[in-house]
Amino acid sequence: MEVNFLNEKFSGILLTLLHELDISKQILNEVKENGRFSDSKKLISHYERLFLSEPLSQHIEFKIAFVGKSTHSLIVRYLDEDNANRHITLDLVSSDSIWIDQLYDNRISDLLKFFKHLFSAIENYAIYQNKRKLEKFENLIEQIKNDIEIFLKINIEADNKQIDLLVELKQKEELEIRERVKGIQLKSNWQLYVNVILDNGIEYLYHFTDITNIDSIKQAQGLYSWAFSDLHKIAILRPGGDELSRNLDKRKGVENYVRLSFCKNHPMEYVAKKEGRIKNSVKLLCDTELIYHVGTKYCNMNATKNEAIISDNIEYFQNINFGVCKRNYLDLTPIEKSQYQSEVLAYEHVPMKYIHNLNDL
C-alpha cells in the first residue's frame, strides 16, 4: 500500500537525520569545552558523510561554499578562511521528499534548518565566542529528538489507520455508484443539509480555475475530477494542482472528486498563481445543492492533510466551522486557517447547470 511506502520513506529520512544529531551534539560539546572553532572542519566532514550518502543525496541538495567577508574580498579571485565565511546549502530537491515533507508538517525541512543554524553557530564561534548560544543548541537537540520521536509514533499510527479509512471510502463509493445508476440523486436526509446551509448563510460553493480552462469546461458540460479527465482525455490547459497535490489526492482516495470550498479566496489559489500554474484566475459559483447529492463527501480542512477525515455524515457536516470561511485568512489562528480550507468533495462531475456564472465568463 502507498501509505506504508510513505511511512518507510519519510521515517527513513527523518530517522537518519535524527540519529546524526548525536554526533553533531558531540562536536558541539567539543567546541564549547575546548573553544576550538577549527572543529567546524570536523562538522563539515560529518555533514559530507551524512548528506552525500544514499539515500539522502537523492533528496537533499548539500553544498558548502566560501562567501566573501567584505567588499575587498570581491576583487580576490580565490576565497579562503582568511577573507571569507563558509555558507551551507541544505534544501529538499526531489519531488518525492518535498511532498512527503509537506504531508508531515515540514518536519524534514525544519530539521534541515536546524542543521544549517548549528553549522553557522559553530562556524562563527571564533568571531562571537558565544558559549551561551552553543548551550542553547545543545538543549535544543534533546528537545528536537524527543519531539520527532513522539511525532513519528503518532503519525505512523495515523497512517496505518488511513489504510482502513481508504478501504471504507472505496466501499462507500461502490454503494453510491449503484444508487446513482438507479437514478437516486439526493441523499435520503437531504432536508437536514438544506437546514444547515440556510442557517449558515451558505450562498455558493467556490472553485477557482484559470480563465483559459473555461472553454473546455463548457465543451465538457461541466467540471470533472482530474482522474476522470485523465481517463477520458479531457484536456485541462492550466490545471490548478501539481504532481504533489495529485499524489496527495491519491493517498487520501479523493482523486475522483471535484474540490469545492466555502471560502471565496482559497489560499491554494494564491499558491497556484505564485507557482505559475494559474495566471488569470476566475471563481466558479457552484450551487449548494451539490452538498446533498449522493456521493458528495465533506472535510473540515484540506482533505489531503495527514490528519484529515473525509465523511458523508450529516453530524460531521453540521460541525464544520463555516463562520471562519467568511473571515480574512491572514487574521486567523493556525487551527482556524486549517478550518478555513474545509471542503465539499463532489463525486466525479459538476454539471454545467450547477455552475451559476459559467455563461458570464
- What would the pLDDT profile of 317-336 be if each residue is shown by its tens digit? 999 999 999 999 999 998 89
Task: Kindly report the number of other CB atoms within 10 A of residue 68's CB atom.
Answer: 14
pLDDT of 127 strictly over 60 = no
Query: In this predicted structure, what is the pLDDT of residue 247?
Result: 78
Mean pLDDT of 139-144: 82
Determine which of 41-45, 114-118, 187-191, 255-259 has the lowest per-residue pLDDT on average.
41-45
List, in order, residues 6 or more apart from 301 with CB less than 8 Å away.
Answer: 307, 308, 338, 339, 341, 342, 343
Query: In this predicted structure, what is the pLDDT of residue 2?
Result: 44
Q: Which of 337, 213, 360, 355 is nearest to 272 (CA)?
A: 213
pLDDT tens for 330-359 read 999 988 998 999 999 999 999 999 999 999
Mean pLDDT of 194-211: 96
Determine which of 43-52, 99-108, 260-269 has the lowest per-residue pLDDT on average.
99-108
Q: How far apart are CA 216 and CA 238, in angstroms?
A: 11
Mean pLDDT of 98-116: 81
Sequence spans of domains, the chain: 2-157, 185-360
Backbone angles phi, psi at 293, to 5 degrees: -80, 150
Q: How far apart are CA 173 and CA 348, in angstroms?
A: 11
Query: In this predicted structure, what is the pLDDT of residue 19?
Result: 80
Backbone angles phi, psi at 241, to 5 degrees: -95, 160
Higher pLDDT, 51 or 97: 51
Q: What is the pLDDT of the chain when averaged over all its residues?
A: 83
pLDDT of 35 strictly over 50 = yes
pLDDT of 166 strictly over 70 = yes
pLDDT tens for 267-311 read 888 888 888 888 899 999 999 999 999 999 999 988 877 778 899
Buried residues in 236-270 as b, exposed as e (16+ CB within 10 A): bebbbbeebbbbbbebbbbbbbbbbbbbeebebbe
**For the chain, the helix, strand and coil percentages under 3-state DSSP, each to the nearest 5:** 60, 15, 25
- Confidence band, pLDDT 50/70/90 cuts, at residue 183: very high
Question: Are the C-beta atoms of 94 and 68 separated by less than 8 Å?
Answer: no
pLDDT tens for 60-99 read 999 988 765 655 545 555 555 655 677 889 998 887 777 7
- Confidence band, pLDDT 50/70/90 cuts, at residue 37: low
User: What are the CA-CA distances from residue 139 to residues 21, 217, 277 (Å)?
Assistant: 12, 56, 43
Query: In this predicted structure, what is the pLDDT of residue 200?
Result: 96
Residue type, 263: C
- Confidence band, pLDDT 50/70/90 cuts, at residue 114: confident
Residue type, 167: V
Mean pLDDT of 96-117: 81
The reported pTM is: 0.67
pLDDT tens for 245-271 read 787 788 788 999 999 999 999 888 888
